[in-house]
Structure 1
Amino acid sequence: MKIHLINEFIVLSQVLNFSKTAQMMNVTQPVLSRHIKYLEDRLGVALLRRDTHKVELTTAGKLFAGEARKIITQYESSLAVMHAFCGKGRHRLAIAFLGEAIHSFLISFLNRFHQSHGDIAVECRDSELDEALALLDSHICDFGFLIRPNFMAHDPRFSTLSFQTDPLCVAFNKQHPLADRARVTLREIGDWPIIRVDPQAFALSEAYSTQFLTGHGVEFALAREYPNLKTCCFNLEFNKQAALLMPRHRGYLLGDNCVLVDIAEEDCWFNLELVWDNKNANPGMGIFLREFKNFIQ
């Protein structure tokens, strides 16, 4: 059984989307389907239930997902032992990061890291949170620079180091009655129709927007959902009534007819975090962690 097939299954078990997994693993969707069918035939059991609307793990699939992680961990550990015996080291790190909030910070750190450790190649790829966690889980990526709502629980499989925060804000059309305010409360926002990203396009859409309202006991009316935040911002240009919750760093997506307003509540923000799996045997990770901790001090 080939290791890359097991890696593909681990990612698919997290993402539960064939097209997204195929894109992440740099294969076509038909090839990914054949690989999963091969695993199912080899194991003699169905690992997934598939229809036109969703993909979910069977009981056997959930069991094999756990066993597959053990296989990858043992494989990488054995590989590290043999490389050490032969006097070879793994001089490559792969990083998943979440867009603009991390981009400038990551570039600054990597420029400094390369000055001291030019022998360690670092590859970076932009991804969404669910994709990044799947890449970390399969050890395709060694580190993730992620952003998540402050109330979202940490995944117990990973270690986390917070290094910055980004406040929650609300975007209005400039003709909105609240647009000229310096700060507004969540309860005031709840009085207006809300637009957000469609959860079918981004599974964590609620957590990144309207869950801040429900977490404070604020009821709201959902006006529209759009496939991504950029489309939400575009449509806000023509909607003088709606409100759009978003992190401050995404404010560049707003057009000339919209403004970004601060939230009055002081417990609404996003954490910027470095995330990794302690079971990952890549020897370069210890060096990277030490340099990063020195960088943020």
Structure 2
Amino acid sequence: MELRHLKYFVAVAEELHFGRAARRLHIAQPPLSQQIRQLEDELGIRLLERTSRKVGLTSEGELFLDEARKVLAGLDRAVERVRNMAHGGEGNLSIGFLGPAALSVLPEAIREFREQNPGIRLDLTSASTRDQLRMLRSGRIDVAFMRLFGHDASEFRTRLFVSDTYMLAVPEGHRFSALESVPLSELRDEPLILYPRHLEPQLFDATIACFHQAGFSPNIVQEANTEQTSMALVAAGLGCALVARFSRKSRLRGVSFVPVVGELPSWEITMGWSEAAEGPILDRFFEVIERYRRV
């Protein structure tokens, strides 16, 4: 039995007329009759009742019609899915991101991508820049959103996704909260919340150097692994924290934001990916991402 036997049978069963079925299939009527007879011989069952005036389905023919339609529909779906995958419409995409990237426009971009590509399964992983580079190297993620300050990503392809300025997150009612901006030197006596040095050693050292250049050593009272945690500690009144401007989107109760004026390390989120990950799915992703880039 071949697929053409099923297609021929379905056509005859739906038309209940060999002549119309032959025209529908763009073949001559005698070969069509022969193919149907071969199918019945192989099954050992009569599927059609034939008289000189009409063609009808036997009860076995009605059951076989239902099953044949399912087989052909399944084949059509398989062909469509394979074609869709070849054009990036189905498959998997693994995305790594740094905590602060989740406060940028990245979630909006991912939401739009999901809506436009429901056949693509997304796997999201929050990780440090160092860990994301390791995961890119091993193929565990396809694309990363990281802060590349002090990191070597020369083996990967990169593109700046978003650049931002710093804000000072302060407890609501703090003396800085009513100011238009705060010079970095004014943080001399402020209790500060900063990320641990082991997460980003070079970025940490560069930030401390900026404080020294402003004439003081920072009073670090608490460490926090993410900007979200930093702002939660600020809301609890434990100190102030340097965060990206778009962190204001969090609208955390008990926190005010004031621009910081002074020399600080660049605040940038960069996309990185390996050449091996390139393909239709990543192309579709970058198509959406391009509309959200802020550089």
TMscore range, shorter length: 0.5 to 0.7
- Aligned amino acid, residue 133 of structure 1: L
Distance 1:154 1:248, change over 3 A: farther
Using the TM superposition, give the Cα deviation of residue 154 of structure 1 relative to its aligned residue in structure 2, in angstroms: 5.2
SS in 2 for 1:140: coil
The structure-2 alpha-carbon separation of the partners of 1:283 and 1:220, relative to structure 1 and needing over 3 Å to count, comes to same
| One-letter amino acid of the counterpart of residue 221, structure 1 | P
Q: Counterpart of 1:132?
A: 132
Aligned match of 2:168: 170
Q: Specify the alignment match of 2:93 in structure 1.
A: 93
Give the Å deviation of 1:155: 2.1
Going from structure 1 to structure 2, the CA distance change for 1:144 and 1:189 (only over 3 Å counts) comes to same
TM-score (norm 2): 0.54
Given residue 259 of structure 2, which amino acid in structure 1 is its aligned partner? D
Aligned match of 1:109: 109
Runs of 4+ in structure 1 displaced over 6 angstroms?
none
**Percent same amino acid among aligned pairs?**
19
Separation (CA, whole Å) in 2 of partners of 1:110 and 1:223: 35
Could you report, residue by residue, the CA deviation over 1:167-210 in whole angstroms, capped at 9, with x for unpaired residues? 2111223454433211111122234342323335xx127726x7
Counterpart CA distance in 2 for 1:98 and 1:137 is 17
Deviations 1:263-282 (A, max 9, x none): 1248655213221122x255
Specify the alignment match of 1:248 in structure 2.
Answer: 245
1:233/1:103 Cα in 2 relative to 1: closer, same or farther (>3 Å)? closer
Shift of 1:141: 0.5
SS at match of 1:121: strand
What letter corresponds to residue 275 of structure 1 in structure 2?
A: G
C-alpha distance in 2, partners of 1:176/1:112? 38
Cross-structure match for 1:186: 184
2:155 to 154, 157, 164: 157
Counterparts of 2:127 and 2:272, CA distance in 1: 14
* Separation (CA, whole Å) in 2 of partners of 1:262 and 1:191: 18
Q: Distance in 1 between matches of 2:207 and 2:278?
A: 37
| Structure 1 CA distance for aligned equivalents of residues 170 and 180 of structure 2 | 12
Distance 2:197 2:252 in 1: 21
Question: Aligned in 2, Cα 1:123/1:182: closer, same or farther, shift over 3 Å?
Answer: same
SS of the equivalent of 1:271 reads strand
Q: Residues of 2 paired with 1:206 and 1:196: CA distance?
A: 14
Superposed CA deviations along residues 100-136 of structure 1, whole A, max 9, x for unmatched, are 6346734543455456655543322333333322211
- Please identify which structure carries the higher helix content: 2
Between the aligned partners of 1:231 and 1:281, the Cα distance in structure 2 is 32
Contact 1:94 1:142 in 2 (8 A): yes
SS in 2 for 1:101: helix
- Which ranges in structure 2 are unaligned for 5 or more consecutive residues? 1-81
1:210-268 CA distances to partner (integer Å, 9 max, x unpaired)? 7335236233233323344555444445658x432122333437542x42111124865
Q: TM-score, normalised to structure 1's length?
A: 0.54
Instruction: Name 1:207's counterpart in structure 2.
Output: 203
Tell me if the contact between 1:171 and 1:243 (Cα under 8 Å) persists in the aligned partners. yes
Paired residue secondary structure (2:165): strand
CA distances 1:51-83 after superposition (whole Å, capped 9, x unpaired): xxxxxxxxxxxxxxxxxxxxxxxxxxxxxxxxx
Relative to 1, partners in 2 of residues 1:102 and 1:162: Cα closer, same or farther, differing over 3 Å? farther
Select the structure of larger CA radius of gyration.
Answer: 2
Alpha-carbon deviations, 1:148-174, whole Å to 9, x = none? 27x545522222111322321112234
Structure 1 vs Structure 2 CA RMSD: 3.8
The answer to whether structure 1 residue 283 and structure 2 residue 275 are counterparts is no
Which residue of 257, 262, 267 maps to 1:260?
A: 257
Q: Residues 253 and 196 (structure 1 numbering): CA distance in 2 closer, same or farther, change over 3 Å?
A: farther
Q: What is residue 143 of structure 1 aligned with on the other side?
A: 143
Q: Does 1:295 align with 2:291?
A: yes
Amino acid of the residue matched to residue 283 of structure 1? G
